[in-house]
Amino acid sequence: MDSYWLDFLGLLVRWLHLIAGIAWIGSSFYFIWLDRSLEPPAPGSENAKKGVGGELWAVHGGGFYNPQKYLVAPAALPEKLHWFMWEAYTTWLTGTGLLILVYWLKAGTMMVDQNVAVISAGQAVGLGAGCLVVAWAVYDRLCKSPLGKNDALLGVVVFTLLTALSWALTRFLGGRAAFIETGACIGTIMAANVFFVIIPGQRRMVDAMRAGQAPNPLDGKRGKQRSVHNNYFTLPVLFIMISHHYAATYSHAANWAVLALLCAAGVLIRHFFNLRHKGIYAWHYPAAAAVMLGIVGWWTMPRLAPLPPVQGEVNFARVRSIIGQRCVMCHSPAPTFPGITVPQAGVLLHTPADILQNSQRLYQQVVVTRIMPLGNATQITDEERAVIAAWMKAGAKPE
């Protein structure tokens, strides 16, 4: 019963994580669009005199809206001021909760892959937790350094370091966990930007105005920079959130490079839309992204690795015996493998009918990508993979 409630808690946390993420990313997209779509008021106009730097008119949901942005701040603060921070905090808290529930508490199965590195579950968790702290510390220091004044160069350096982090993680963790940990590091940077830079800067500006002082424009400038960084992080993070559904990416021999290409494509696509908000249609950016995605598609296309010749007769009874030894402990209504409480991905393999129904999926995961068993925790052999491949080639017959 305890394991059931743990899984049910995971369901609720995942749902909340998705809801909060939609709210956070949606507001990021909206405010970047808004900021880049503003038109300066006419010189000498009432809005220009009161410090409005840009405005626009919009229609939505049957109503008209007239947002305005001040160069620094209005002459007097309104009584009610809306803040945008809890979307970010909730997304990070629920994401970290999922990381703990799904990966850290089951690190022996979900993070450790003895074919990658011989480490303990505790070491895997320690590595993952340490990376969250180090990633933020290095990124924040770079932003505060002289390099932080050159946005383009800073972006290249940050992207290169995150790629290096991904490469390092794939040297110690299973590909699936390495991807998720990379995403967790980026998500931590994004949430920390809000918690340590954007919101404190906004509070200092508000406090200064309430004290009758002029706000420091540097607070607004720093907050804007970090907000734009978060905007460019969104598409890579969204891919990583769903990457566990696509074994061809994280199981690839050069999985870190595959991830780098996908993230670079996401950044270029986001940049295209950010420029388009200003009326600039730089089609070479999505074109370059399309080339990168095409390379990923070709590179990760299934290529059956050489398998040893099969000795003896290949029949369903032999295949079922292999599945019973190597797969059923995780893919049954009541899994017996330590740390697994529900059938993985909802796939059942405990009856002949289930095996036949999932035969194609079994072939892809066990023979083509070889991502299953996860981390080869049940130590399936190449000879056994070859038997499953031969059975599939012969038509996956139930006899």
How does DSSP classify residue 251? T
**222-281 pLDDT, tens digit each:** 999 999 999 999 999 999 999 988 888 998 999 999 999 999 999 999 999 999 998 999
CA 36, CA 1: separation in Å to the nearest integer? 53
- The region that residue 305 occupies, defined by phi over 0 for left and psi between -120 and 50 for alpha, beta otherwise, is beta
- Residue 251: both structure tokens together: 């199981």
Burial class (CB in 10 A: 0-12, 13-18, 19+), 208: middle
Give the dihedral of Cα atoms 220, 17, 112, 375; nearest 10 deg.
Answer: -130
| pLDDT (tens place) for every residue of the chain, 399 residues total | 466 777 788 889 999 999 999 999 999 999 999 999 999 999 889 889 888 999 999 999 999 999 999 888 888 888 888 899 999 999 999 999 999 998 999 898 889 998 899 999 999 999 999 999 999 999 999 999 999 999 999 999 999 999 999 999 999 999 999 999 999 999 999 999 999 999 999 999 999 988 888 889 899 999 999 999 999 999 999 999 999 888 889 989 999 999 999 999 999 999 999 999 989 999 999 999 999 999 999 999 877 778 888 888 888 899 899 999 999 888 988 888 877 777 877 788 888 888 889 888 888 888 888 888 877 888 889 898 998 888 988 888 887
- Tell me if 241 sits within 8 A of 181, measured CB to CB: no
Q: pTM here? A: 0.85
Can you tell me which residue has the tokens 């995971």? Answer: 10
